[in-house]
Amino acid sequence: MTYFNQFHKEASERKMRKIEESKQSPMNSVDAANYMKRNVEMASRM
Amino acid sequence: MEHVFDLGTPGPSGNENDTYVSNDVIYKVNNLLNSGSIISLFEKVRIHNEIFPDTFYQLHAFTGFDGRTIMPILRQDLVKDAEPTPQIAIDTYMAALGFNREDVVGRYSNTDYIVWDLIPRKVLRDRDGDIFVVDAEIKKK
Domain boundaries, chain A: 6-44
What pLDDT score was predicted for residue B1?
60
pLDDT of B56-68, one tens digit each?
Answer: 999 999 988 777 7
The ipTM estimated for the assembled molecules is: 0.94
Q: Closest residue of B to A30, CA-based? A: B9
Question: Coil, helix or strand for A15?
Answer: helix
CA A42 to each of CA B11, B102, B134: distance values in angstroms, whole numbers, following the listed order? 15, 25, 16
pLDDT band of residue B114 (cuts 50, 70, 90) is very high
Percent helix, strand and coil across chain B, each to the nearest 5: 25, 40, 40
Judged by CB atoms closer than 8 Å, whether chains meet at A32 and B84 is answered as no
Strands B137-140 and B82-84: unpaired
Judged by CB atoms closer than 8 Å, whether chains meet at B79 and A19 is answered as yes
Going along B38-136, which residue ranges are E strands?
57-65, 69-77, 82-84, 100-101, 108-109, 113-116, 123-126, 131-133
Global pTM exceeds 0.80: yes
- Tell me how many degrees the CA angle B49-B71-B19 measures, rounded to the nearest 5: 70
Q: Closest residue of B to A44, CA-based? A: B121
pLDDT band of residue B2 (cuts 50, 70, 90) is low
CA B2 to each of CA A10, B24, B30, B65, B66: distance values in angstroms, whole numbers, following the listed order? 41, 22, 15, 9, 10
Specify the CATH architecture of the domain B4-77. 2-Layer Sandwich (3.30)
pLDDT of A9-41, one tens digit each?
Answer: 999 999 999 999 999 999 999 999 999 999 999
